[in-house]
């Protein structure tokens, strides 16, 4: 079942890499007591994700923070090493936290996994963005397959 507005995010361990070390963090810690924009996408270093989705959040991060967002998280079904390398490639610095959902546990738990096995990509995340306040979903914009219209930074900014 797909998560919806008003639902609390599940408690799931995810990973990130910092200072050369892979760390595990629980979603309760990531989202607890914070207003967070979480955007997820099918894969690091993929065309739309690298050309538009992630860069839009980097460019608009100050505006999001000014509107009361405490943290911006990019999540993908990749490992923490890939997410860190992609973040470095995209110059995210400390603006966007690059979270790895390596085995798609979070994506499956929120019902937003995407089966791309037929094209050799395995299980991925759907493309979406959500605003989460203290672990509870306040806004959820899920893209239709192959689209990039409602999960971009500008759309989220306009909804805050």
pLDDT in tens, 36-46: 999 999 988 88
Q: What is the mean pLDDT of residues 99-118?
A: 92
pLDDT in tens, 127-159: 999 999 999 999 999 999 889 999 999 999 999
Domain assignment present for residue 3? The answer is no
pLDDT in tens, 48-99: 888 899 999 999 999 999 999 999 999 999 999 999 999 999 999 999 999 9
Q: How far apart are CA 134 and CA 111, in angstroms?
A: 20
**pLDDT beyond 80 at 119:** no
Domain assignment present for residue 113? The answer is yes
Mean pLDDT of the chain: 95
Q: How far apart are CA 43 and CA 7, in angstroms?
A: 25
Domain total of the chain: 1
H helical segments located in the chain: 27-31, 47-48, 54-59, 61-66, 80-89, 105-109, 153-159
Domain assignment present for residue 34? The answer is yes
Domain assignment present for residue 155? The answer is yes
Domain assignment present for residue 62? The answer is yes
**Domain span holding position 34:** 13-159
Domain assignment present for residue 7? The answer is no
**Known catalytic residue at 74:** no
CATH number, domain of 68, equals 3.40.30.10
Domain assignment present for residue 50? The answer is yes
Task: Please give the share of the chain, as a percent, with pLDDT higher than 90.
Answer: 85
Domain assignment present for residue 5? The answer is no
44, 49, 99, 137: the catalytic one is 49
């Amino acid at each position: 079942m797909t998560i919806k507005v008003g639902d609390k995010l599940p408690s799931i361990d995810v990973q990130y890499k910092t200072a050369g070390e892979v760390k595990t963090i629980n979603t309760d810690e990531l989202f607890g007591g914070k207003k967070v924009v979480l955007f997820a996408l099918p894969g690091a270093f993929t065309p739309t994700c690298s050309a538009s989705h992630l860069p839009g959040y980097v460019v608009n991060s100050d505006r999001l923070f000014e509107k009361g967002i405490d943290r911006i998280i990019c999540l993908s079904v990749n490992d923490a090493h890939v997410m860190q390398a992609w973040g470095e490639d995209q110059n995210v610095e400390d603006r966007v936290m690059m979270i790895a959902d390596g085995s798609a546990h979070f994506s499956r738990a929120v019902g937003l996994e995407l089966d791309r096995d037929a094209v050799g990509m395995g299980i991925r995340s759907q493309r979406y963005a959500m605003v989460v306040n203290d672990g509870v979903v306040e806004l959820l914009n899920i893209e239709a397959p192959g689209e990039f219209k409602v999960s971009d930074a500008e759309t989220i900014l306009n909804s805050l």
